């Protein structure tokens, strides 16, 4: 059985932290698929173009493909800003962009690196579109207000000056765009286990997920 864990959920739900912790505990590879969309958006904004226009977004995909050969654009800390997150959710609504990034994600899912025991992909459509046959699917969510407070803390730690109200408004807009779009909308797969992280610590989240992983993979 392929050891694939699909983890989906809205922004700041805790899925990224959980995925990293789980990957470390299980000796699995981890792909943060949001970074792919952020990297495309970054390329579009570098060109001073509008990310919701398909031709611009596809140019961004091509620029990313070129950069992937020479550097590691996915680990660029500049991808982590709210402006890039917002632009990422615009390019992510375009089917041809999603098609472009699908092979990269499936290739990662199906070819774990030597020495690793499986893979974890986190994103919005991993359980529904990218890896519908993953033996373990988790959908991580939390109340919007709690996610906005978490995101605000993160941004403040990075020295960005933001207000709670502004972050909450952006979070609602991003939720609406990600859940309301026609292509690959954010939603739990039918067979996903839903975990509400609102009142759970990082350690409790990991413990829960490890229990599900043990059930799925023995």
Residue 125 within binding range of ligand C5P, rule CB under 6 A: yes
Where would I find the H helices in the chain?
15-26, 34-46, 54-70, 82-91, 95-110, 144-157, 164-180, 202-217
Which span sits near ligand C5P by CB under 6 A: 29-37, 51-59, 194-202, 205-213? 29-37
Dist. CA 165–CA 129, nearest whole Å = 33
Contact letters for ligand C5P, residues 90-109 (x by CB under 6 A): --x-----------------
* Binding residue (CB under 6 A) for ligand C5P from 13, 19, 33, 56: 33
Of residues 68, 145, 140, the one with CA closest to residue 100: 68
Residue 37 within binding range of ligand C5P, rule CB under 6 A: yes
* Binding residue (CB under 6 A) for ligand C5P from 174, 197, 205, 213: 174
Residue 88 within binding range of ligand C5P, rule CB under 6 A: yes
Which span sits near ligand C5P by CB under 6 A: 86-94, 156-164, 189-197, 205-213? 86-94
Residue 118 within binding range of ligand C5P, rule CB under 6 A: no
Backbone angles phi, psi at 8, to 5 degrees: -120, 165
Burial class of residue 147 (count of CB atoms within 10 Å of its CB; 0-12, 13-18, 19+) = buried
Per the listing, tokens 């990075």 go with 158
Contact letters for ligand C5P, residues 44-73 (x by CB under 6 A): ------------------------------
Supply the DSSP symbol for 78.
Answer: G
Q: Give the number of residues in contact with ligand C5P, rule: CB under 6 A.
A: 15
Per this entry, what is the length of the chain?
218
Residue 19 within binding range of ligand C5P, rule CB under 6 A: no
Dist. CA 185–CA 181, nearest whole Å = 5
Which residues are at the interface with ligand C5P (CB under 6 A)? 11, 33-34, 37-38, 85, 88-89, 92, 123-126, 174, 178
């Amino acid at each position: 059985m392929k050891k694939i864990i699909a983890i989906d959920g809205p922004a700041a739900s805790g899925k990224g932290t959980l995925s990293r912790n789980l990957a470390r505990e299980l000796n699995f590879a981890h792909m943060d698929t949001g970074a792919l969309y952020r990297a495309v958006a970054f390329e579009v904004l570098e060109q001073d173009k509008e990310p919701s226009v398909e031709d611009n977004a596809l140019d961004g995909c091509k620029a990313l493909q070129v950069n992937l050969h020479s550097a590691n654009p996915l680990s660029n800390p500049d991808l982590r800003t709210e402006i890039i997150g917002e632009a990422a959710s615009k390019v992510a609504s375009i089917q041809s962009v999603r098609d472009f990034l699908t092979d990269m994600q499936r290739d990662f899912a199906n070819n774990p690196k030597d020495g690793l025991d499986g893979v974890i992909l986190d994103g919005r459509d991993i359980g529904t579109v990218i890896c519908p046959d993953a033996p373990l699917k988790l959908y991580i969510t939390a109340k919007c207000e709690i996610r906005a407070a978490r995101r605000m803390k993160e941004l403040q730690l990075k020295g960005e000056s933001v207000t709670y109200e502004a972050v909450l408004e952006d979070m609602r807009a991003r939720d609406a765009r990600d859940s309301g779009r026609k292509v690959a909308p954010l939603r739990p797969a039918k067979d996903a286990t839903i975990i509400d992280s609102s009142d759970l610590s990082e350690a409790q989240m990991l413990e829960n997920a490890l229990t599900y992983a043990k059930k799925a993979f023995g």
